[in-house]
Amino acid sequence: MDNPTSSRNLFDLTGKVAVISGAAQGLGKATSLAVAQAGANVVLVDRNISGLEATADLIRKMGRKALVS
């Protein structure tokens, strides 16, 4: 039987899209990876384009979509 209060169920973002600013490094990157792990596709925003591409690559390897903006 599935536990309805498990952390996976409480933080299931499957089918959602998250927009994360500052996603090239630090907390923004960590947040981007966490929401992707929870099932969301992610729009990444930052001035550091090369850092954004690196974060996007990690998200895509999880099987999620990542758009760099």
Range of the domain at 33: 7-68
Is 45 within 8 Å of 20 (Cβ atoms)? yes
| Overall average pLDDT of the 56-65 stretch | 98
Tell me if 41 is assigned to some domain: yes
Domain count, the chain: 1
Tell me if 1 is assigned to some domain: no
Q: What pLDDT does residue 25 have? A: 98
Q: Quick one: the chain helix, strand, coil %, rounded to 5? A: 40, 20, 40
Tell me if 19 is assigned to some domain: yes
Q: What pLDDT does residue 67 have? A: 98
Structure confidence by residue, pLDDT tens digits, 1-54 = 455 555 556 789 999 999 999 999 999 999 999 999 999 999 999 999 999 999
Name the pTM for this structure: 0.85
Q: What pLDDT does residue 7 have? A: 56
Is 37 within 8 Å of 61 (Cβ atoms)? no
